[in-house]
Structure 1
Amino acid sequence: MILGLLKEHGTETRVALLPDIVQNLTDLKVEVLVEQEAGEKAFVTDAAYEEAGAKIVTRNEIFEKSEVVLQIQLPLTNEVDKLKGSQVWISAFNPLWETDLVKTFQEKGLTTFSLDSIPRTTRAQAMDILSSMATVSGYKATLEAALKLPTFFPMFMTAAGTIRPANVLILGAGVAGLQAVATARKLGAQVFVFDVRSAVKEEVKSLGGKFVEVEGATEDKDAGGYAVEQTEEYKNKQQEAINAQAIKSDVIICTAQIPGRKAPLLVPKETVEKMKPGSVIVDLAASTGGNCELTKNDETVHFQGKTIIGQSNYTSLMPIDASRMFGKNVLNFLKLIIGEEGALNLNFEDDIVKGTCITHQGELYNERVKSTIENK
């Protein structure tokens, strides 16, 4: 099998494979082609890839020679046509959101895998890029909030008096939210957490957070651990609870998202108006509309003395470790499709391979993506 590693475009600084993972692949008898300067923004030289056994080539050579083409981002529009029906495309292209791209892949008969669709099962944990990248995001979001806040996070007993600890509200207790809880607690803040899933209550408490409970949430055991759409009655009760806690908070970290849908609005403009001047909101759901009404993706908004940071790509601010984690997840997934002597082996009898596959031979393979497209 010949695997081609592409250089990321735009502001993305990560790379899908670091040299140590390339070495693992070459040990499995996979030939690895790496685009020139693919690892430059992650502080990795072409020489390091060559030492690991890769061959440095041009971008066009990747498309011409590779059986499997790998990158983190979705492909550039003008490069989809470069992909051949015999090739396999692997990236994290958010198929529940990028439905037009999925349709293009289907029409072209391409075999595609989206790493953000890996099933949320125990066996697949070692391949779960969403969890790995959410760990980075939750950590970095909390640090940025601490830097932007005009007060301390921890309590201080000083000769000048007592400094009270910051109140931090975290919306959503997925991996990013739980990492934010852990980081904020280590920095000495008081942490309050809201999530519609009662199952995460004990995890929040074990990290030192206080769970803000609103009764009556709808939970779906088939949702793979994700939050699901709630009733209007629950949304009203939820909003009252969040508003009451938000106006007492110094920091709000928003992480709540529903796959394939616009992020739920949890912090309306009226709530922000009631927050204390100097308060900071960091919205990790910015790319899908944001949990805060005033959020603008990739922008920082200043509103009545409050700061709202719309940031959904903190992973690019920590490219070395983010790339290391991403690459390890990728390697574990690739092992499922690498056969004897390094040959490509697409085993669709494997539930992880089938669940991660979005399109193959003109068919939609992923059931959630298929349902989303059919219902649009």
Structure 2
Amino acid sequence: MAGITLGVASETASGERRVALTPETCRKFVARGARVRVQRGAGLGAGFADAAYAEAGAELVEDAGAALETADLVLCVQPPPAATLLRLREGACVVGLLAPQADPARAEAIARRRLVAFPLERLPRTTRAQAMDVLSSQAGMAGYKAVLIAAQLAPRFFPMLTTAAGTIRPSKVLVIGAGVAGLQAIATAKRLGAQVEGFDVRPETREQIESLGGRFLDLGVSAAGEGGYARPLTEEERAEQQRRLGEHLKNVDVIVCTAAVPGRPAPKIVGAAMVAAMRPGSVIVDLAAETGGNCELTRPGETVEHGGVVVAGPLNLPSQGAVHASEMYARNLLNFVALFLDARAAQAGALAFDWNDELLAKTVWPAPPAQAAA
């Protein structure tokens, strides 16, 4: 049977509940002429029943091999194991959060099978790419969940309450980092009634923080650089920034850390001495735990206590909101795949890659064929 075959299997990473294809996006791929194969149970962790996929036009298969090994296009959330990649059809296209540089065996499998791999963490952050930006969509869920974790761990109310037993002051929440996750955290903490501050080394984030009802924490040290990027601080500037931040944290009830640099270890911002100076009962939730954490005392995947201060390092927070995280992620993938899959190409059994399109050329790994041959 001619036509493009799209395969989706159950995610195998520990604790992963998201899925790369929802019944909604399945229906749209089928409308483009793709034949869709989905492993039974692939969407259950995110609340999508097998029957919903079948109704959307998917063929349900029993195991990952049947879903993937003859597929022309494979969609995933977490990177498939190297052994799975080695069983894919030679030249197949794989789209997801693949992180090939993080695992030599994975990178070798991609090369050996000559897979056209699109690690979406490499997608250029441009206006045109916003509808495909999986990092942003998933960071929004992470920021939201981080504040809910903080509210659960904190031994206090977030909002101000006037009760017969007296007035309860609102919790003071500081969000470090004003990217997508940080801004969502600010908005969520504000909705819960906390007194919210946001801190970022980029002074231009002040307007975004204040637009969400937060107060911009100005430590008197600017890292403003060219082109909207932060410049490195001098040793003296960094020391002064850390001193002022440490003083400020003595009066903060909750810190949510979100500062991350793609492909690099998370910057250490909250030192052990700062934590020691915080009030007992304070809480730190470190979204950057997966890349080492913004807090020196963070232990990835654990919640620990230091001198009465609770430090949580949750992993894969988007998976905790698997329904909406999957819906956003699957739409991101649909919008990206639409760059090279139209109805005519799907029916002809070929994917049409335009390597002059910077979104494809800069996302594919290791390099587009034209560049590789040059």
TM-score by length of 2: 0.91
CA contact (8 A) 1:257 1:264 kept: yes
Give the corresponding residue for 1:345.
352
Give the corresponding residue for 1:7.
10
Q: Does 1:295 align with 2:295?
A: no
Give the corresponding residue for 1:354.
361
Decide whether aligned partners of structure 1 residues 206 and 358 sit closer, same or farther in structure 2, where only a CA change above 3 A counts: same
Q: In angstroms, what is the RMSD of aligned CA positions?
A: 2.1
Q: Which AA in structure 2 matches 1:344?
A: L
Match of 1:81 among 80, 86, 90: 86
Partners in 2 of 1:100 and 1:220 — Cα distance? 38
CA contact (8 A) 2:223 2:231 kept: no
Decide whether aligned partners of structure 1 residues 257 and 96 sit closer, same or farther in structure 2, where only a CA change above 3 A counts: farther
CA contact (8 A) 2:74 2:94 kept: yes
Q: Does 1:51 align with 2:55?
A: yes
Q: Does 1:93 align with 2:88?
A: no
After TM superposition, the structure 1 stretch with the greater mean CA deviation from structure 2, 313-322 or 239-248, is: 239-248
After TM superposition, the structure 1 stretch with the greater mean CA deviation from structure 2, 315-324 or 103-112, is: 103-112
Give the corresponding residue for 1:217.
223
Deviation at 1:93, TM superposition (A): 2.3
CA contact (8 A) 2:203 2:222 kept: no
Residue pairs, 1:270-349, within 5 angstroms: 270-341=273-344, 342=346, 343-349=350-356
SS of equivalent residue, structure 1 residue 346: coil
Q: Does 1:121 align with 2:126?
A: yes
SS of equivalent residue, structure 1 residue 193: strand
Residue pairs, 1:94-109, within 5 angstroms: 94-95=99-100, 97-98=102-103, 101-102=106-107, 104-106=109-111, 108-109=113-114
Deviation at 1:219, TM superposition (A): 3.1
Q: Does 1:27 align with 2:34?
A: no
Deviation at 1:24, TM superposition (A): 0.7
CA contact (8 A) 1:166 1:190 kept: yes
Deviation at 1:307, TM superposition (A): 1.1
SS of equivalent residue, structure 1 residue 252: strand
Give the corresponding residue for 2:116.
111
Partners in 1 of 2:231 and 2:76 — Cα distance? 30
Partners in 1 of 2:247 and 2:370 — Cα distance? 48
Partners in 1 of 2:179 and 2:342 — Cα distance? 34
Match of 1:252 among 252, 255, 280: 255
Deviation at 1:314, TM superposition (A): 1.2
SS of equivalent residue, structure 2 residue 244: helix
Deviation at 1:104, TM superposition (A): 5.0
Decide whether aligned partners of structure 1 residues 248 and 41 sit closer, same or farther in structure 2, where only a CA change above 3 A counts: same
CA contact (8 A) 1:102 1:358 kept: no
Q: Does 1:184 align with 2:183?
A: no
Give the corresponding residue for 2:73.
68
CA contact (8 A) 1:12 1:316 kept: yes
Deviation at 1:103, TM superposition (A): 5.5
Decide whether aligned partners of structure 1 residues 218 and 103 sit closer, same or farther in structure 2, where only a CA change above 3 A counts: farther
Deviation at 1:85, TM superposition (A): 3.2
Q: Which AA in structure 2 matches 1:14?
A: R
Deviation at 1:100, TM superposition (A): 6.4
Decide whether aligned partners of structure 1 residues 215 and 143 sit closer, same or farther in structure 2, where only a CA change above 3 A counts: same
Q: Which AA in structure 1 matches 2:360?
A: V
Partners in 2 of 1:53 and 1:170 — Cα distance? 44
Structure 1: state its 5+ residue gaps.
366-376
Partners in 1 of 2:223 and 2:16 — Cα distance? 37
Q: Provide the identity percentage.
A: 43
TM-score by length of 1: 0.90
SS of equivalent residue, structure 1 residue 324: helix
Deviation at 1:241, TM superposition (A): 2.7
Q: Which AA in structure 1 matches 2:362?
A: G
Partners in 2 of 1:96 and 1:161 — Cα distance? 56
Decide whether aligned partners of structure 1 residues 96 and 201 sit closer, same or farther in structure 2, where only a CA change above 3 A counts: farther
Give the corresponding residue for 2:42.
38
CA contact (8 A) 1:90 1:113 kept: yes
Deviations 1:295-351 (A, max 9, x none): 111111122211111013111111111111111111111110103422411111111
SS of equivalent residue, structure 1 residue 359: coil
Partners in 2 of 1:85 and 1:235 — Cα distance? 50
Deviation at 1:234, TM superposition (A): 3.2
Aligned residues: 362
Deviation at 1:230, TM superposition (A): 4.1
Decide whether aligned partners of structure 1 residues 306 and 330 sit closer, same or farther in structure 2, where only a CA change above 3 A counts: same
